[in-house]
Structure 1
């Protein structure tokens, strides 16, 4: 008796192996890498990032995106990842806080400014501030205090003054 049969295994097949067809899904690029989401098209981007890809820098701030903790860049603009279903992201280019540094590991100027200005309290809000700050600096290279104060982000540690200095420092560095 062949060993496979003795172990209760099915006999080996002699036919060709037929691969499964490629699953239909939602193709998008996250931090420069292509992905295909084949699950629920109504899944929020936040859950895809955190639970599927294990990119946990983008934080949960509530069911409605309040506080700016869940911000990511989609097409270069800051958007709430909890409010954005995967179905709306076909072909999109998404950048999370994990994707801000250059391929060589050098930090984005705003990341460096956050370090230089000690603008990181507990750190929970930092990713959202970085994303919102980059969006702001793209739209307004020399933002005013009022421009910065209008960002949707909140910090429970009270780092807003240092965040404002960091954004202005980054604006000066990019000038």
Structure 2
């Protein structure tokens, strides 16, 4: 984010010295919509976005995928966790344009076409690893990332590598049990 902000500068427009526009180093105006192509849940989405639009807002407000939750909007709660090219990302801290051409997986993209739940989703149900459910999509996406990163070998591993995902209902023991149950079926799924 710092690199993007430092790349912007107030530059006078030719022909109107009194007006200024924020311009990137490439010359694009910051407030003009940019066409961004995301492959979300294996479907191509071409979105016209303000370059400052977060990936979270692009998913919820422009692609209509509201399963990814907006919690703190500061990267502190994990409710907005999605997978980008298979890695965990806090979508509130990532600009959508930074993900142009990348594969984004949200909670809506986990179940198979015939409706069969992803093993991690089923494990969360089996272990009652949710209460109010608000954090559950981010918890599940983070749990899949945790397993795929090789950080789910023990209860302590799961606790450590899932610590960025807050559950205000304190379903943590059930979440850990769910991750451990699903880890074998989740790897590479």
Contact 2:34 2:49 in 1 (8 A): no
User: Runs of 5+ in structure 2 lacking a partner?
Assistant: 1-32
Q: CA RMSD in A?
A: 1.7
SS in 2 for 1:73: strand
**Structure 1 residue 142: Cα displacement:** 4.6
> Structure 2 residue aligned with 1:43, among 53, 58, 78?
53
How far did residue 143 of structure 1 move?
A: 2.3
Q: Distance in 2 between matches of 1:28 and 1:60?
A: 20
Q: Distance in 2 between the 1:167 and 1:52 partners?
A: 31
Partner Cα separation in structure 2 for residue 104 and residue 124 of structure 1 = 25
Is 1:161 paired with 2:173? yes
Larger CA Rg, structure 1 vs 2: 1
- TM-score under structure 1 length normalisation: 0.82
Pick the aligned partner of 1:138 from 125, 138, 148: 148
The separation in 2 between residues aligned to 1:32 and 1:173, in whole angstroms, is 21
| Over 4 Å off, 4+ runs | 172-175
Alignment of 1:1-175 (within 5 A): 25-140=35-150, 142-150=152-160, 151=162, 152-173=164-185
Structure whose residues are more often strand by fraction: 2
Q: What do the CA deviations read for 1:77-131 (whole angstroms, capped 9, x no partner)?
A: 0101111101201111000001011122111101010111111110001001100
Alpha-carbon shift at residue 24 of structure 1 (Å) = 6.3
Contact 1:119–1:163 (CA<8 Å) still a contact in 2?
yes
Q: Is the 8 A contact 2:39 2:102 kept in 1?
A: yes
- Compute the displacement of 1:173 (Å): 4.4
Residues paired across the two proteins, number: 153
Q: CA deviation at 1:63?
A: 2.5
- Can you give the 5+ residue segments of structure 1 that lack an aligned partner in the other structure? 1-22
Per-residue CA distance 1:21-50 (angstroms, 9 max, x = gap): xx9611110011101121212200111111
